Amino acid sequence: MNSNPRKTMISETGEETLRLIAGLSAPAGLEERVHQALRAAPHKGRVLAWPERFRTKTVRESNWMRTAAAAAIVFVVVGGGWGVYSHVEHGQAGKVIVMPARVPGGGGFSGAGAMRTPQTLPGPTVREHGTKGTREQETQPAKKPSGPKKSQSARPAVSRPAASQAAARPAVSQ
Amino acid sequence: MEISTSADHEETRRSAEDAAISALVDQYAAALYRVAYSVLRNPSDAEDAVQEAFLRVLRHRHMLAEVRDHRVWLIRIVWNIVLDRKRRAKTRPETDDVVELTRVLPSTGLSQEAMAAAAEHHAHVLACVEQLPAKEREVLWLSAFEELSSVEIAAVLGITESSVRSRLFRARNLMARLLDHERNLR
């Protein structure tokens, strides 16, 4: 008989199975295989290093070769940049389009620098005051308006509410 | 010489980190395997997960000095790997469990029939566990490891201890209901 309530609960909820699986031992040689995997992994992938066969004692203990290599890289980069810079031609004037000087005209439209301008017909001339047409206009009577037009000015000056107020106001006599 | 001194320091630091990782492998590889196996239930997959976990440690070995509890940190790493793998490999046939459990579970003093029945029962329990919601299921899996306290489970899952307790409570209730339902159907 199972008297332990916790044990009963564990068996009822299936945790016994999970504990059984959790308690299984790891396969033999697991650690060794992990060690091998770690050894095979690239340790120094992020840092450039000399190949193993070139890694002599001199290379490992002194850094002058590393410095020389860095200097060579800098030299190549700077030299390449200078080579590109020196091949570019400087000071060459660009092609400039010279605009013709604007000829000051006597007003009106300009020729817009055209080589030849077409001849135009003589335009209308402005008549001076005192000509016939002007005189006729002055002697003709003013035209009457065709019909009565309702406008704001045609309305009575006193508005209705104001008039009614005046009428309603009692006369005060002293 | 200044440069060679710093290089020596680097070399020394690396060898110390390598030694530390090697010690971690010796100490925790088996525990990590058990965690991985309890979820994946496939020996080779579990071993791959352990190896991947230690490779991740190797990549982030500069963090080793900052980690307070290496065991929980490692379990957390392998836990994430395992869940990721499980999410990706959902095509595993369910009958694998019975065969695998018959092979791996202890069979001292049991007849063939009893062993087969036990394996079937365990497989049935595991199938019920799979029906649980993910949050409850994960807590239940980790609670099966007696060496992990609720605080450590909380650290592995990145939740509070009270959440662990409430999820475990819900998981147990759900499991009892599921198993009872299955028992009534039989």
The SS3 call for residue A149 is: coil
Residues of chain A with C-beta less than 8 angstroms from the C-beta of B175: 12-15
Predicted confidence at residue B36, as pLDDT, reads: 93
Task: Tell whether B16 is covered by a domain.
Answer: yes
ipTM of the complex: 0.79
What's chain A's average pLDDT?
Answer: 67
Task: Tell whether B54 is covered by a domain.
Answer: yes
**What is the rounded CA–CA span in Å between residue B119 and residue B100?**
9
The answer to whether B82 touches B40, Cβ cutoff 8 Å, is: yes
Which of B55, B59, B53, B60 lies closest to B33, judged by CA? Answer: B53
Task: Tell whether B97 is covered by a domain.
Answer: no
Interface probe for B, chosen from A9, A18, A44 (most Cβ of B below 10 Å), is A18
Say if the Cβ atoms of B21 and A14 lie within 8 Å.
Answer: no
Q: How far B35 CA lies from chain A's nearest CA (Å)?
A: 7
3-state helix, strand, coil in chain B (%, to 5): 80, 0, 20
Task: Tell whether B108 is covered by a domain.
Answer: no
Residues of chain A with C-beta less than 8 angstroms from the C-beta of B129: 14, 18
- Tens of pLDDT, residue by residue over A102-159, are 665 556 666 677 777 677 777 777 776 655 544 444 445 555 555 455 444 444 444 4
Which of B41, B68, B66, B31 lies closest to B53, judged by CA? Answer: B31
Task: Tell whether B65 is covered by a domain.
Answer: yes
Residue A62, domain extent: 47-75
pLDDT band at B151 (very low <50, low <70, confident <90, very high): very high
The SS3 call for residue B45 is: helix
Mean pLDDT calculated for residue range B148-166: 93
Q: Would you call A7 an interface residue with chain B, using a CB distance cutoff of 8 Å?
A: no
Q: Report the alpha-carbon angle A17-A20-A21, nearest 5.
A: 90
Contacts of A13 (CB under 8 A, 6+ apart): B171, B172, B175, B176, B179
Residue B29, domain extent: 1-89
Tell me, what CATH number does B7's domain have?
1.10.1740.10
Predicted confidence at residue A128, as pLDDT, reads: 66
Task: Tell whether A55 is covered by a domain.
Answer: yes
Task: Tell whether A62 is covered by a domain.
Answer: yes
**What is the rounded CA–CA span in Å between residue A118 and residue B177?**
105
Residues of chain B with C-beta less than 8 angstroms from the C-beta of A38: 21-22, 25, 54-55, 58
Q: Would you call B73 an interface residue with chain A, using a CB distance cutoff of 8 Å?
A: no
Predicted confidence at residue A173, as pLDDT, reads: 42
Task: Tell whether B160 is covered by a domain.
Answer: no
Tokens of residue B9, six digits = 């320091």
Q: How far A68 CA lies from chain B's nearest CA (Å)?
A: 14
Say if the Cβ atoms of B55 and A38 lie within 8 Å.
Answer: yes
Domain count, chain A: 1
Residues of chain A with C-beta less than 8 angstroms from the C-beta of B43: 27
Task: Tell whether B52 is covered by a domain.
Answer: yes
* Pairwise pLDDT comparison (A164 vs B110), residue with the higher score: B110
**What is the rounded CA–CA span in Å between residue B56 and residue B74?**
10
Q: Is the pTM of this model over 0.90?
A: no
Task: Tell whether A57 is covered by a domain.
Answer: yes
Domain count, chain B: 1
B93 pLDDT exceeds 70? no
A40 pLDDT exceeds 80? yes
Residues of chain B with C-beta less than 8 angstroms from the C-beta of A12: 175-176, 179-180
Which of B164, B118, B157, B145 lies closest to B33, judged by CA? Answer: B145
